[in-house]
Structure 1
Amino acid sequence: MLIYKIFRRAEWEALERDGETAGAPIDLQDGYIHISAAEQTRETVAKYFAGYDDLMLVALEADDFGEDLKWEPSRGGALFPHLYRKLRRDEVVWAEPLELGADGEHVFPARFG
């Protein structure tokens, strides 16, 4: 099952350069990496990344994380995947830019969900 992390371009470039990341500032603050299931990703992007034009959509295989991935209640009580360790670059299944369309809404790549 694919799950998704949204990175700003600089965060993605740091993961590419360093080979691993503890996540974005909010992840560091909360002590885990925030990830979304496919059906949660569009809402996550709309709620937290509206108007950003420098995003990367990163697909991850949930089964690769074992016990380090916990499904915990978040927005509206829905269970969200949280990764309690660093994410390694070699765990990325695919990554693509999440561009802004002319209407200001993000355009998801064809292979998303």
Structure 2
Amino acid sequence: MTGQSGTDDPIFHIALPDDWVNAFASGEYSVSTRGMSLDDVGFIHCSTAEQLEATANRFYGDLTELVLLTIDPLIVPADILWEPPAPGVDELFPHIYGPLPIGAVNMHRFWSRAGTAWEIPQG
């Protein structure tokens, strides 16, 4: 099932530090996921707060530093659709179907992994 979210709860994107810094040159972030652009995939992968740790551990387990972007969906001009990450999966993830203006990011914070797994930063 796909659909647009009716919620104004923040959504999150996990970024590589260099990708986030590079977004300031154009004013938009256009990385879909690790190593793939918006042009490659067609949307930017995002997560809810509850999905973050699993996503980070699944796709970024070999890294020690990331940037966690907190996104205000009401400011994003592109469609945000809630979709499964793969056929046959029931869990829905928010996908942004266009570039993400840096002004739609309420907060960014560096996320360092101290142990063997990513854990949501507190504070």
| TM-score bracket for this pair, using the shorter chain length | 0.7 to 0.9
Considering fraction of residues, name the structure with more helix.
Answer: 1
CA distance in 2, matches of 1:63, 1:10: 26
Alignment length (residue pairs): 110
Corresponding residue to 1:9 among 5, 10, 17: 17
Aligned to 1:80: 93
Give deviations 1:40-85, integer Å, cap 9, x for gaps: 1111001001131231001001233366111112253211100001
Aligned to 2:74: 63
Give SS of 1:36's match. Answer: coil
Is residue 2:27 matched to residue 1:19? yes
Does the Cα contact within 8 Å between 2:72 and 2:106 map onto a contact in 1? yes
How far the C-alpha of 1:100 sits from its partner, in A, is 1.2
Identical positions, percent: 25
CA distance in 2, matches of 1:54, 1:16: 19
Instruction: Give, as a single letter, the amino acid of the residue that structure 2 aligns with 1:104.
Output: T
Does the Cα contact within 8 Å between 2:53 and 2:119 map onto a contact in 1? no
CA distance in 2, matches of 1:44, 1:5: 10
Is residue 2:116 matched to residue 1:104? yes
Does the Cα contact within 8 Å between 1:56 and 1:98 map onto a contact in 2? yes
Question: Could you say what the CA RMSD is over the residues aligned between the two structures, in angstroms?
Answer: 1.8
- TM-score, with normalisation over the residues of structure 2? 0.79
- TM-score, with normalisation over the residues of structure 1? 0.85
CA distance in 2, matches of 1:5, 1:86: 13
Considering fraction of residues, name the structure with more strand.
Answer: 1
Is residue 2:57 matched to residue 1:49? no
CA distance in 1, matches of 2:48, 2:77: 16
CA distance in 1, matches of 2:78, 2:101: 16
5+ unaligned residues in a row in structure 1: which ranges?
none
